[in-house]
A and B are shown apart, each in its own frame.
Chain A
């Protein structure tokens, strides 16, 4: 179908989203989009969810940190922000989310708010809770492998 003339095309806003998860969590774009629709549907209802029209545009994730660009209609950014805040896990992997900023174009969104590749993580052994334990370190943050799962710490906690 012929595309709409410019003045009646919908206006969009692009939310730059920072994502954080456990280092062993596998999250892909499809799963994140499903979680987003599910969260929006539950919080905003079908009508609000349709208005917000949330779509994951860009998605990059590796080793527990990621970034996404989420598109929404102009004027619905508060609803979009609320729906994003209500995503607590993707495929049963708990995730942390923060909206880093909002732009009118994808390019401005990437240039202003997204940091690109995160620093590489290294595996090493650290001293924590009176023992030597395997850990994954990225900059000053450390994910320590404990019998009951990962403990998220920083280098301040290492002895």
Chain B
């Protein structure tokens, strides 16, 4: 199971510290959302046994600037995320094959509907369930966050949209173990198996993209064979 985290300098903990905590909690890998984060994946894997993966989360104001960043950063990272939050950005992200994950689609003015759910399935863009506000806010904001997660969950179940689960941790203290997330998920209407699937989906994205970045890969289903010059 993998988690996706924000690390120093954008967050309060470095990648290696997040990895130390993730290893303790039973995760096998971490996707690092922060582009500026500086880390050595091999050095981290040695003591902690956690696969630290270079990801980039694009936080753009509109689809045009997001598209520019997608073109610039797609080759630099294994997992490319685009932060949603407006209807235009959500729509752009789910219709772009080069994007792996649409993160936080329901924050701010963002909303999700059946059209986006179908498009995300067609283009194999994973939609993120952000558990951060459920774990870290209270009162009306938390009620709204749970309502929005429910709406998103119903659409994802109906249209079989690929999804990921994350707590959006800025520091290692905000990480929670998979069993805790399953328990919280069950309290707010998820099934435990959905949470597990959402955490494992990060690992599937990483494996798929690493295969695509490999030298033998030509296109899905086509590999460089023995007879290739």
Contacts and interface: CB of A to CB of B under 8 A. Distances in A.
Interface residues of A, number: 29
A153 B24 contact: no
B174 A86 contact: no
Interface residues of B, number: 33
Contacts of A20: 21, 172-173
Nearest to A149: B12
Contacts of A150: 12
Interface in A63-99: 78-79, 81-82, 84-86, 88, 94-99
A21 B172 CA distance: 10
Contact of A152 (B17, B25, B44, B179): B17
A140 interface: yes
Nearest to A20: B173
A84 B176 CA distance: 10
Interface in B145-180: 171-177, 179-180
B181 A154 contact: no
Contacts of A96: 21, 172-175
Interface of B: 8, 12-14, 16-17, 20-21, 24-25, 40, 43-44, 47, 134-136, 138, 142, 171-177, 179-181, 183-184, 186-187
Q: Which are the 10 A-B pairs with shortest beta-carbon distances?
A: A96-B173, A85-B180, A82-B183, A81-B183, A152-B13, A156-B16, A154-B16, A153-B14, A88-B136, A82-B184
Interface of A: 20-21, 42-44, 78-79, 81-82, 84-86, 88, 94-99, 140-141, 149-154, 156-157
7 contacts: A82-B186, A84-B180, A85-B183, A86-B135, A96-B173, A98-B177, A152-B17
